[in-house]
Structures are given as structure tokens and as C-alpha cells.
Structure 1
Amino acid sequence: MQPTVGRIVHYVARGSADGKFPKKCRAAIVTEVDDPNGANADLNRVGLMVANPTGLFFHPIADGGGCHQGPRCQDIDHPTAGGTWHWPERV
């Protein structure tokens, strides 16, 4: 599947460094994707609007976006690492 604007994904919140707030999956909507024809297109990095219990969090591509497992996300060692997005699990 390829992310497109309006698709629902899960964003894994990073949590706090002190562990008080653990990483946690949150519902998110894709708000922007890279131009697939661009020279440095990264279709695994998207802009997100993340729904938290206390409000919305906007995570635009310009500020790093949300990263899915892919060639430009080599520092991510697990698909549900904090700061990443993934497709919702089927239940």
C-alpha cells in the first residue's frame, strides 16, 4: 500500500525520556506526501495529524514527518519504534 492524503494510519508516539509516558499508538491522518516525481522523494515519510486524548498534534514533512520502515529510515530498528507510522492492524 502507498500512503495518500486522507488515509488513516497509526502513529507511535515517542513517549517521554523519563518513561513517565510510554510510547503508544495513536490514530493519525496523512496530511501530506512527498511529490513522487521529486528528485529526493521519500514516499515512506509523510505529514501527519495525530489524534491524542488531549488534542491534535501536527507533524509536517518540513519538520521531519512521520517515518515508515523504508530505505530512508535506516535508523528505525522496528516498525513500531517511537516516531514512526504503520498501517492499522486488522482485528
Structure 2
Amino acid sequence: MQQTPSVGRVVHYVSHGTPTRPDGTQAYTQQCRAAIVTEVDPADATRIGVAVLNPSGQFFHPLAAGGCVLDEAPAGARDGGSWHWPERV
């Protein structure tokens, strides 16, 4: 069954992480974060605006700023700035 994003639904947002340091480490690695759908592109339901809930605060990524696109790649291979449906546990 194909899910369709709608305002108010919970999705996972993939953070970008911080730039890699010369020694190969990062201050913050790429992580999945809880996000609430705030808007859906009427021409492409795979592109949405989100309010991301981080441990250190909130982040807003609206459609006007480009939105987020669905990334259905396996965990660990998803692009930063994308979204996906939460895994079933």
C-alpha cells in the first residue's frame, strides 16, 4: 500500500550533518529526525515542507526554500535534506 504525505503526518527527516574535518570525523553525523509535514507540493506529493524536531531545537524547511524530497534508499544510504516514512518497529 502506497502512503501519501499530508499536513500533520509524522515523517523522518535526514539531517545533513556537519562538514567532515581533516581527520575524517564530524561534530554531528547525519541522523534521522522526527518531522511534521507542514505542506505538500500540489504538483509532486514526494516534495514536502517540514518542521523538524531536533534535540537542540526546531528547524523549518518550507516548500518556498525548496522543500524536501522523498528518498526511499535503504537506511544509511539516504541523502541529507530528504525525508522518508518511519520504519516499522
> For this structure pair, what is the TM-score category when the shorter chain's length is used for normalisation?
0.7 to 0.9
Q: For 1:1-91, what aligned pairs fall within 5 Å after superposition?
A: 1-18=3-20, 19-35=26-42, 41-69=43-71, 78=73, 80-91=78-89
Identity %: 56
TM-score by length of 2: 0.82
> 1:38 aligns to what?
none
RMSD: 1.4
Report how many residues are paired: 79
For residue 69 of structure 1, report the CA deviation from its aligned partner.
3.3
Alignment gaps of 5+ in structure 1: 36-40, 71-77
1-side partners of 2:66 and 2:16: how far apart? 14
Moved over 4 A (4+): none
SS at match of 2:50: strand
Report the structure number with the largest CA radius of gyration: 2
Secondary structure (helix, strand or coil) at the match of 2:13 reads: strand
Q: Aligned partners of 1:84, 1:45: CA distance in 2, in Å?
A: 9
Cα separation, 2, equivalents of 1:29 and 1:49: 5
TM-score (norm 1): 0.80
Unpaired stretches in structure 2, ≥5 consecutive residues = 21-25
Equivalent position amino acid for 2:34 in 1: A
Shift of 1:34: 1.4
